[in-house]
Chain A
């Protein structure tokens, strides 16, 4: 009887230990998943990603990067200014009346920070301005 009582305690200790480690494993995996998601959606990670994509694929892909990665924050203001001008170019390209879109693209170039984006937008302006 006494051996039975002790063996009951031994069993309980084993069960508690197994449950404990299972719960800890679950918490660890969940925490790791959440951490990974948080890192992928962090502002710094997304900013690095958009900079990398711009270097790899060119300024033409800025809008795609902004859209697919949900980059709406203020830190992406410069990219959105380019994207707005780019969309104006796209609308103007397939529009009969191009003047408003040329003006919009020119407006971006007047305040553009220079660099690769300005060159790309200049190219778009020339294309829109062709008769």
Chain B
């Protein structure tokens, strides 16, 4: 372009004439416009970036929320299923054909006089924990067998202690309460009668109670007072009797 002052030719993008130094108004105007445009471009770019990032974050958050929620639901579902199928008090064992099979086996064990085995099957598969609600036809007998099993285990442990030469494990207050519960259950089935005879035998021949004392125990209420030889020290009295008898 030509300089308006000296008429010399110079490049149109130069801000001043290289010969006379006159300011190139046109180039100056263009430079200012370019600066304004650059600034506006940067602002717009930042705005678009911000908006774009926001969109991406929004979709990412939404997507993560859905995926995480899905995985959590599946995980909880698997845990819930595993809990239902394999937990200690699951109702899985007492549904449908399994319940029918359990009832059949309990009946069979009771018939074969495997009372404790019948009780173990019922208690292991009954999620109501010792109330035998799933086996109502056997509930009374199973409840008595449970109490009887506690008595039997105490006798066996006591006998083992005696055989190993340790101190005699006599009748304790807690054993008396268990026996009172056993005798006072109100069930009059043949199984209860058989178990009662056995428990009577342990009381008489092992713990050395007399027939009269056994009858007193049967008549005493659960948790009620029971004495031997006028003493509430059941443990001391039975221990001395056991020592006197077994060390003969």
A and B: real partners?
Answer: yes
> Is B20 close to A, CB under 8 A?
no
20 interchain pairs (CB within 8 A)? A2-B51, A2-B54, A9-B61, A12-B65, A13-B60, A13-B64, A16-B64, A17-B68, A23-B75, A34-B86, A37-B86, A66-B116, A66-B120, A67-B120, A67-B149, A72-B121, A80-B114, A94-B202, A94-B205, A95-B201
Q: Return chain A residues, CB-CB under 8 Å to B153.
A: 64, 67
> In the complex, are the beta carbons of B79 and A67 less than 8 A apart?
no
Task: Decide if A9 touches B51 in the complex (CB within 8 Å).
Answer: no
Which A-chain residue is minimally distant from B59 (CB atoms)? Answer: A9
Number of A-B contacts (CB under 8 A): 98
Please report B residues at the A interface, Cβ cutoff 8 Å. Answer: 47, 50-51, 53-54, 57-58, 60-61, 64-65, 68, 71-72, 75-76, 78-79, 82-83, 86-88, 109, 113-114, 116-118, 120-121, 123-124, 149, 152-153, 155-156, 159-160, 198, 201-202, 205-206
Interface of B is mostly: helix
Given the interface contacts A24-B75, A34-B86, A72-B121, does A94 sit within 8 Å of B57 by beta carbon? no
A9-B57 in contact (CB<8A): yes
Question: Which A residues are CB-close (under 8 A) to B121?
Answer: 72
**B residues within 8 A CB of A37?**
86-88
A6 B149 Cβ-Cβ under 8 A = no
| B61, A23: Cβ atoms closer than 8 Å | no
